[in-house]
Structure 1
Amino acid sequence: MMPFEKCPVCGGEMVGKEVEKLLRGGVNTAILRVPAEVCLRCGERLYSQDVVRCFERIRAKLKRHDTKDFQPMGQAFKVTNCGLESSA
């Protein structure tokens, strides 16, 4: 899949895996499973050009709110205060 045997970040060994990728477009978010080369040492992920193009298409759809082909998975919430005191 990739021309890298070693990680371009740390030199670690790369292995092919299926990973979950979180994509954001505007206020919308999508999660998908895609193939990637993953570094066993640092966790760096490398994606093929086809996968990156897929990411770009999905982000554009999310920005346009064109989500009719996507499966809803619940709701997302922004938490502004979880009750923790600032240590500063």
Structure 2
Amino acid sequence: MKPFEKCPFCGGELVEKEVEKLLRGGAHTALQKVRAEVCLRCGERLYSQETVRRFEEIKAKLRRQETAEFKPVGVSFEVV
């Protein structure tokens, strides 16, 4: 059973999707693909407790500069 049947912020419908989450720790950044419940109305993302714990572990490693297991993320900007 899901913790929420509807979005707790706007009441919209939630669907499970694979999303990308950008995590920052100190001067380092990691990009993780994870499953989340996403609101179709407002776009709010709801993560499982296990996923949030993993985010915190990754952020701590990034702060300690233990980045060998993570791929660097390149950021590019497009001028419109």
- Structure 2 length-normalised TM: 0.87
Query: Hey, what does 1:32 align to over in structure 2?
Result: 32
Q: Tell me, which stretches of 5 or more residues in structure 1 are unaligned?
A: 78-88
Written as runs of structure 1 = structure 2, the 5 A alignment for 1:56-75 is 56-74=56-74
Q: Tell me, which stretches of 5 or more residues in structure 2 are unaligned?
A: none
Question: 1:42-61 CA distances to partner (integer Å, 9 max, x unpaired)?
Answer: 00000000000000000000
Q: How far, CA to CA, are the matches of 1:41 and 1:15 in structure 2?
A: 11
Question: 1:6-35 CA distances to partner (integer Å, 9 max, x unpaired)?
Answer: 000000000000100000001111101000
Given the superposition, is the C-alpha separation of residues 5 and 45 from structure 1 closer, same or farther in structure 2, using an over 3 Å criterion?
A: same
Q: CA deviation at 1:2?
A: 3.0
1:9 aligns with 2:13: no
Q: Which has the higher contact order (CA 8 A, sep 6+)?
A: 2
